[in-house]
Structure 1
């Protein structure tokens, strides 16, 4: 126990995200690459629901199979950040592009967009499609009062706000609100600057509409930024978007709004600019690795996933999936929280109880502590596919239908004796270290196979010694965890 207490101060100051550029990451955020979507698309919409991300509609790459639909797609692909895997959901009831979406109370809502009409792809619709993930089926709600595409939508106070867009003749400033509890639409104060290809985000009971273009012309991009207060049904101007652009996506994290991508005649944007409502200021953030427009985005567990979109202006396609770690999250992640520290201290304590903890300050003790810290950090923070695959499969094997909850708890609280046991036992029967790219994924966290072997050996020895003394590993851990920080 003395060893664990002595390590407490050291652990609280430990860096948990390795690598260069940490100060820049804390100020501007950082990007990682995740598993690409199954199909290449553009002019999509995306929303998070139940810890997963739904990538919906748009244009697919033209081919023989979709010529009759002019490449408009009804595809719905679902990304699970916990496993870094994609699956396919039931397709939309209609092939649609430039739609908008949001999630409310466990259901997904897709509204508006454009559909095919003879040889044109620009017929605006007012349709509202509702997806129930439990049943895996789509239903149709009452249509919007105003048909339109290239609109923006967001959830605010349990209602869907549909904002702006193009109605077939020109821009509309329509702001129409759907209330799922009454199954009705209501008309609200119009957007002061009617436009299309804009983005909308809700923060602290306010709605923000940013960017966009006039009459579908990306040569007429706007810097307009406006805020809506539902309490008084009134819009007001805020500081303009620093880089006028359209075909953008936006999302809110930690009370900041991130506006990404877009297109102009000169090319596509990798631009990522953050707006801070409390101070009415914009700040440049780390740009996307892949510039694109017509993209979708969604936030899961404090990370912003930016998906698909065209890498060139106009008709171009991608299946890119890039992950933004925002500054507030990155800065917090740099240092261990009390919960993460307490988890490691409790493990060290039970190793000490079992008599298998290496001598204090010995090279092996330092390596063991480092392994506990850095493998915990890797399994929480890494977006490397093989790192995430190992952890997710191990947790699923041990916890079964409760694995999602176990993963969510681990991301906040770090190791438990059961989660460590899960990855140790899984690695014992699966050749995880033979998987291509795994060692490289852990190299970013300054640990490798030999560190894992040491941690495995100590953990197994502790389990065996405690069992021989008639003590249960997990009960012993639980008792020790209650004594540690962040319990």
Structure 2
């Protein structure tokens, strides 16, 4: 098994990757330094060892055995944004990083979930000047450090940046996008599609569509309900505060208490009956670089929201996962578009 351990941030390594393109990601910011306020840790936030290989954004995460897997995404080097197939693992007990077998296909915005001790990747986005939906799907076995190809997603269900939730042997996907063309006026092909994949039978099913299309959206299953939180519709400034809930027993959508802050590009994680939401993109406030620092928790039992301590390093295009009573948030972007960072921190409610 190939495994390299990192305790500190290293110079950016160049992995096997999808074709690169020389514009700044989502097209809102040039490749220039972004001045941000110093990180303020405390109030439940803790700084951790930064991502071993360097900055990463528009990736996904999964937790297995006390470790956080960071899968795919984008990095920038010499003004060029590149989609990566790199997979790195953060050990929450030792505060170290390791590199494991890469994805067979480079992806950003991959749809990722862990089920039964394995990690599933069900499509995502990739490409050069325009990111397109991929149907490529894989399962990762940590004991053998090996990815196995699964049958591709049906063509009508392919998208990246979907809300994800797991119940039993099924992975649920809601919304997402089929095309993301960076640059002013670029196409953001947001969808309302909802589907599920059974990891035992290998079968895809189509569920009732979202009431409205969403991408860069939060998702979680709590009990028998699939929650889809915030997100955006056809562009990062078109952010939403909606919370939709799909009862998986009867297939009916209802609307719940809205988010205090409308946001897209958020990260979500679940502890108990609460869904925690972090950061996001589309902030119109001056000097915000379009980024939110908000941390808000939704109590599904009470249908209520609670504001919590803001992120020490505000960012979007990241992902979150709970391990025990802490939520881990590696990487993300600190300005609109592609401004990836190697920040890795944890929040304890």
Unaligned stretches of 5+ residues in structure 2: 1-41, 180-187, 285-289
CA distance in 2, matches of 1:261, 1:113: 21
The answer to whether 1:179 aligns with 2:186 is no
After the TM superposition, which residues 118-137 of structure 1 pair with which residues of structure 2 at under 5 Å, given as runs? 119-137=128-146
Aligned to 2:76: 61
Q: Which digits, 9 at most, give the CA deviation of each residue in 1:435-461, with x for residues without a partner? A: xxxxxxxxxxxxxxxxxxxxxxxxxxx
The answer to whether 1:95 aligns with 2:106 is yes
The answer to whether 1:77 aligns with 2:88 is yes
Unaligned stretches of 5+ residues in structure 1: 1-24, 327-487
CA contact (8 A) 1:144 1:176 kept: no
Instruction: Give 1 or 2: higher helix fraction.
Output: 1
Q: Structure 1 residue 157: deviation in Å?
A: 2.1
CA contact (8 A) 1:273 1:282 kept: yes
Q: Structure 1 residue 191: deviation in Å?
A: 1.4
The answer to whether 1:150 aligns with 2:173 is no
Q: Structure 1 residue 121: deviation in Å?
A: 3.6
CA distance in 2, matches of 1:100, 1:183: 16
Aligned to 1:319: 342
CA contact (8 A) 1:112 1:151 kept: no
Aligned to 1:161: 172
Q: Structure 1 residue 112: deviation in Å?
A: 2.2
Aligned to 2:35: none
Q: Structure 1 residue 95: deviation in Å?
A: 0.9
CA contact (8 A) 1:265 1:313 kept: no
The answer to whether 1:170 aligns with 2:186 is no
Q: Structure 1 residue 62: deviation in Å?
A: 2.1
TM-score, normalised by the number of residues in structure 2: 0.81
Secondary structure of 1:268's match? coil
Aligned to 1:114: 125
CA distance in 1, matches of 2:131, 2:223: 35
Q: Pick one of 131, 134, 138 that aligns with 2:147.
A: 138
Secondary structure of 1:40's match? coil
Aligned to 1:195: 214
After the TM superposition, which residues 70-469 of structure 1 pair with which residues of structure 2 at under 5 Å, given as runs? 70-116=81-127, 119-145=128-154, 146-168=157-179, 170-215=189-234, 217-264=235-282, 266=284, 267-326=290-349
TM-score, normalised by the number of residues in structure 1: 0.58
Q: Structure 1 residue 161: deviation in Å?
A: 0.8
CA distance in 1, matches of 2:282, 2:213: 19
CA contact (8 A) 1:161 1:177 kept: yes
Instruction: Give 1 or 2: higher strand fraction.
Output: 2
Secondary structure of 1:113's match? strand
Aligned to 1:45: 60
Q: Which runs of 4+ in 1 moved over 3 A?
A: none
CA distance in 1, matches of 2:316, 2:44: 20
CA distance in 1, matches of 2:140, 2:78: 28
Secondary structure of 2:221's match? strand
Aligned to 1:418: none
Q: Structure 1 residue 63: deviation in Å?
A: 4.0
Q: Pick one of 36, 52, 58 that aligns with 2:50.
A: 36
CA distance in 1, matches of 2:227, 2:279: 17
Q: Radius of gyration: which is bigger? A: 1
Q: Which digits, 9 at most, give the CA deviation of each residue in 1:95-115, with x for residues without a partner? A: 110112110001001122211
CA distance in 1, matches of 2:332, 2:278: 11
CA distance in 1, matches of 2:162, 2:339: 20
CA distance in 2, matches of 1:111, 1:210: 20
Secondary structure of 1:94's match? coil
